[in-house]
């Protein structure tokens, strides 16, 4: 019958997540942004702690954005992930080489 699908065909189709996870990810992103802004605006916190906290919150923010908004957590995204990792590698290499060049 044309209207019926086998179990293998059903697994191929992407199941729609719904807005619940997106709303949670959006709220989490907004909270991270507010916390980062409040830490910097306070001015009374140790600057080393602020720098470390901002970098850690930025990394969490990147994973939230890539996982929930860019759907990198889903199957079939190996090429974009490899491309992003290669881009990160190239950027870090350029920054390290620029620092090495400036110090000599």
102 CB-contact burial (10 Å; exposed 0-12 / middle 13-18 / buried 19+): exposed
More confident residue, 65 or 37: 37
Q: Write the CB contacts of 39 (distance below 8 Å, at least 6 apart in sequence).
A: 45, 50, 53, 54
More confident residue, 31 or 3: 31
Distance of CA 7 to CAs 14, 17, 25, 74, Å? 13, 19, 31, 19
Q: Say how far apart CA 39 and CA 53 lie, in whole Å.
A: 9
Amino acid 77: pLDDT = 74
Amino acid 87: pLDDT = 92
Using the CB atoms, write b or e for 19-44: b if 16+ within 10 Å.
eeeeeeeeeebeebeeebeebeeeee
Amino acid 85: pLDDT = 86
Place of tokens 């969490």: 60
């Amino acid at each position: 019958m044309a209207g019926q699908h086998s179990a293998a065909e059903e697994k191929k189709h992407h199941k729609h997540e719904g807005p619940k996870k997106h709303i949670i990810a959006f709220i989490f992103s907004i909270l991270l942004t507010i916390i980062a802004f409040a830490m910097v605006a306070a001015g009374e916190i140790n600057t080393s702690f602020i720098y470390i906290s901002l970098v850690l919150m930025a990394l969490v923010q990147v994973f939230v954005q890539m996982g929930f908004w860019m759907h990198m957590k889903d199957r079939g995204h190996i090429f974009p992930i490899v491309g992003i990792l290669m881009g990160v590698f190239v950027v870090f290499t350029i920054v390290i080489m620029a620092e090495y060049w400036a110090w000599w």
